[in-house]
Amino acid sequence: MYNYRQVTDDLYWVGADEHRLALFENIHPLYHGVSYNAYVLLDEKTVLFDTADWAVGRQFIANVKAVLDGRPLDYLVINHVEPDHAASIEEILLRWPEVKIITTPKAVTLLNRAVLGMDDSATSSYASSAYFTDVPASFWGAGAINYAGSQGYLSVLNTNNNFSPNNPITRAEFLALLCKYRNVDVSSASTTTSYVDVPSSHWAAQYISYATSQGWVQGVGSSQFTPDSAVTRAAICTMVNHILGRAADPSKTAATGATFSDVPLTYWGYADIFEATFTHQATVSNGVESWM
């Protein structure tokens, strides 16, 4: 049964309330429950802003379906990737697979730092290179983007001289970028994958097949990879760590506690976010790090 609320003529609250949770993010006491907020805009196109924690997922989905009333969902705007905002993204994609996801990418800068070991100052001289027509020198990521373009790393994005810096980057695109940054040749990789939503005709099938065989990535459940959905920050940390052979020291993650207020110890990507956040030296034995 749906339970949405009309905010304005064309804006609807489709979130849900939860009264069973005792602590928010395992820190903050909840005396009167918590509200998960998400909104649907009905205009020439339909837009969903955020999703909700899966604890209220069924109610949330019912609300969205009721408000859309048979209309397709055109856009999903992701403002946060914490579980209370993003846990139901997969369910949205399963029900409205044609939805376009809008978010803010910082993938190229992250790859330059993590994979190439180049900080922003090392690529700043490329800011005025005008490698892409839609990346002015004044853009915050111009140096990193133009450097990556000049080295051929971005060829997998089929940019045609436009980078579209404010467009989302998909799971397939980010994975392909990782392979390019690591000089991985996938030309002999199989085009057949174990995912029902990655046909052999998909442009990234070989990248996904190869990365899965190497243990760098896995699906999102139900034998799906959702290659064309936007990649989350947590997934980026996980992919980068796996391709670099990095794994957090379990003793350090347990002793340090929560790194960010919105990433509790119980969050699925906590260890990978922890590993990517702290500067450290370590020895590795059997794929497990011991921090020095």
Q: What pLDDT tens digit does each residue of the chain (292 aa) get?
A: 788 999 999 999 999 988 777 766 666 777 787 888 999 999 999 999 999 888 888 899 999 999 999 999 998 887 666 677 777 887 888 888 888 777 654 667 767 776 777 777 788 888 888 788 888 888 888 888 888 888 888 888 766 778 888 777 888 988 888 888 888 899 999 999 989 999 999 999 999 999 898 888 888 878 888 888 888 888 888 888 887 777 777 777 766 666 677 788 788 888 888 888 777 777 777 666 777 7
Q: Give CA–CA dist 10/29, Å, rounded.
A: 35
55 three-class SS:
helix
**Class (C level, CATH) for 5-102:** alpha beta
CB 103 within 8 A of CB 78: yes
Chain position carrying tokens 């959702």: 226
Domain ranges of the chain: 5-102, 107-239, 246-291
Taken as a whole, the chain contains a residue count of 292
- Cα R_g (the chain), whole angstroms: 20
Let me know: does 184 contact 210? Beta carbons within 8 Å: yes
Q: Which residues contact 183 (CB under 8 A, 6 or more apart)?
A: none
Name the helix (H) or strand (E) containing 284.
strand 282-285
